[in-house]
């Protein structure tokens, strides 16, 4: 063999080795610890833990701006007006102005309490007899129904009794229109309050929605060109107006809204906790929302149902566990069972 043939043999050997290295590099990927695994090249991703947070419940409503310049307090039920009557003049917001006492309602309240007490005793006795096989399941069901009806009746009458207390909705100067002991009918003017000309917004929501609204809760108010943060000033006690509850929103100082103008109000409340992931973890595959769980350096596609979302977080329903981590970057390149290498781990805050 001459020198030229020897050089050709060496070159062919080196070329074969180089091809083997290149093919091996493409056929094997490295994990986060440097170990080599067979398959396609690993995709670098950032991950975050799955957590559970209360689902935000957003309440939207339209309201009319009113002014605190003057208001007239009227009787909500038929009854007799009683004191204190020594508060005429300057009053603070929430101060008791008068009591609208209804003798018939007080008697109904006492009767409802007695009926509930008797229904509780009857239910307890029926359950004890049923335990001894001396009463049937039907007897127990009837006793439970009577107890529930008595309790519901008492709650209704108590709500009406709460309306007997008349309070100043805002600070101002109080002037009575009736004398102590006057018998008034529903809608009769009882007193007037002259207050500062500070506007507020009245909205109406369903009784179920009002149950979760809290006093002094923040509310976002806007008119299309301006928006600011107000606070819940008062929550109505009855749903006599179209079956809705009135919520009064105090506007921030310097609000440009004027009485008579319509405004949009948004309240955000906390619902039940649910699985929460960063928005960047969610993608759409074939018309369905999915996230990718990272397990043993592989990406597992998990379909989810979106419950709510914000600019940074998404609340979802699906087979996810709090101990798992999900990909939050590079997700558009992932497929089910893709090999991944975790670049960094972040907190889902």
251-297 pLDDT tens trace: 887 788 877 789 999 998 788 889 999 999 999 877 889 999 998 88
Residue 143 near residue 122 (C-beta atoms within 8 A): yes
3-state helix, strand, coil in the chain (%, to 5): 25, 45, 30
Q: Long-range contact list for 102-108, CB < 8 A, 24+ apart? A: 102/77, 102/78, 102/164, 103/79, 105/77, 105/79, 105/157, 105/160, 105/161, 105/164, 106/161, 108/157
Domain ranges within the chain, ordered by starting residue: 1-38, 39-53+273-345, 103-163
CATH, domain 39-53+273-345, list 3.10.129.10, 3.40.120.10, 3.40.50.720, 2.40.420.20: 2.40.420.20
Asked whether the predicted pLDDT for residue 62 surpasses 80, the reply is yes
Q: Given this model, what pLDDT does residue 292 score?
A: 93
Structure token pair of residue 338: 């893709």
Low-confidence winner among 3-7, 28-32, 37-41, 331-335 (lowest mean pLDDT): 28-32
Q: Given this model, what pLDDT does residue 106 score?
A: 73
Q: What are phi and psi of 267, to 5 degrees?
A: -115, 135
Check if 39-53+273-345 and 103-163 are the same fold.
Answer: no
- In 10 A of CB 250, how many CB atoms? 21
Per-residue pLDDT averaged across 170-187, rounded? Answer: 85
Q: Given this model, what pLDDT does residue 303 score?
A: 93
Q: Given this model, what pLDDT does residue 348 score?
A: 61
Burial track 129-158 (b if 16+ CB lie within 10 A, e otherwise)? ebeeeebeeeebeebeebbeebeebbeebe
Low-confidence winner among 6-20, 25-39, 215-229, 313-327 (lowest mean pLDDT): 25-39
Give 90 or 336, the one with higher predicted confidence.
Answer: 336
pLDDT confidence bin for 197, thresholds 50/70/90: low
Q: To the nearest whole number, what is the mean pLDDT of the chain? A: 80
Tell the residue number behind the tokens 């079956």, with chain if given.
243
CA distance 193 to 90: 9
CA distance 346 to 12: 49
75-93 pLDDT tens trace: 877 888 887 676 677 888 7
- In 10 A of CB 35, how many CB atoms? 10
Per-residue pLDDT averaged across 155-160, rounded? Answer: 79
Tell the residue number behind the tokens 């409503």, with chain if given.
61
For 103-163, give the CATH class: mainly alpha
198-247 pLDDT tens trace: 688 999 888 888 888 888 888 999 988 898 999 998 888 776 656 788 89
- Smallest CA-to-CA distance from 231 within 198, 190, 207 is with 198
Q: Given this model, what pLDDT does residue 163 score?
A: 65
Structure token pair of residue 88: 């005429």
CA distance 214 to 273: 19
């Amino acid at each position: 063999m001459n020198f030229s043939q020897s050089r050709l043999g060496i070159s062919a050997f080196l070329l074969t080795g180089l091809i083997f290295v290149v093919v091996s590099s493409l056929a094997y990927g490295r994990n986060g610890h440097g170990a080599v695994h067979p398959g396609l090249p690993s995709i670098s991703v950032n991950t975050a833990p799955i957590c559970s947070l209360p689902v935000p419940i957003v309440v939207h409503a339209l309201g009319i701006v009113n002014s605190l310049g003057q208001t007239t307090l009227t009787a909500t039920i038929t009854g007799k007006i009683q004191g204190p009557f020594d508060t005429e003049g300057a009053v603070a917001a929430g101060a008791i102005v008068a009591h609208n006492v209804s003798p018939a309602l007080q008697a109904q309240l006492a009767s409802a309490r007695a009926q509930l007490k008797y229904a509780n005793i009857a239910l307890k006795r029926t359950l004890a007899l049923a335990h001894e096989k001396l009463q049937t399941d039907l007897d127990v069901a009837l006793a439970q129904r009577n107890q529930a009806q008595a309790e519901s009746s008492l709650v209704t009458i108590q709500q009406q009794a709460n309306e007997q207390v008349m309070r100043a909705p805002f600070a101002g100067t109080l002037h009575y229109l009736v004398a102590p002991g006057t018998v008034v009918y529903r809608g009769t003017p009882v007193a007037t309050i002259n207050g500062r000309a500070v506007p507020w917004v009245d909205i109406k929501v369903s009784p179920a929605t009002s149950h979760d609204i809290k006093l002094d809760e923040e509310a976002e108010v806007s008119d299309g060109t301006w928006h600011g943060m107000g606070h819940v000033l008062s929550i109505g006690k009855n749903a006599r107006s179209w079956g809705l509850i009135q919520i009064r929103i105090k506007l921030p100082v310097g609000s440009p809204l004027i009485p008579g103008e319509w405004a949009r109000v948004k309240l955000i409340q906390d619902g039940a906790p649910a699985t929460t992931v960063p928005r960047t973890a969610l993608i759409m595959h074939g018309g369905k929302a999915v996230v990718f769980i990272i397990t043993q350096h592989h990406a597992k596609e998990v379909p989810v149902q979106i419950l709510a979302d914000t600019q940074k977080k998404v609340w979802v329903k699906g087979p996810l566990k709090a101990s798992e981590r999900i990909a939050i970057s590079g997700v558009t390149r992932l497929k089910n069972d893709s090999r991944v290498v975790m670049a960094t781990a972040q907190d889902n805050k």
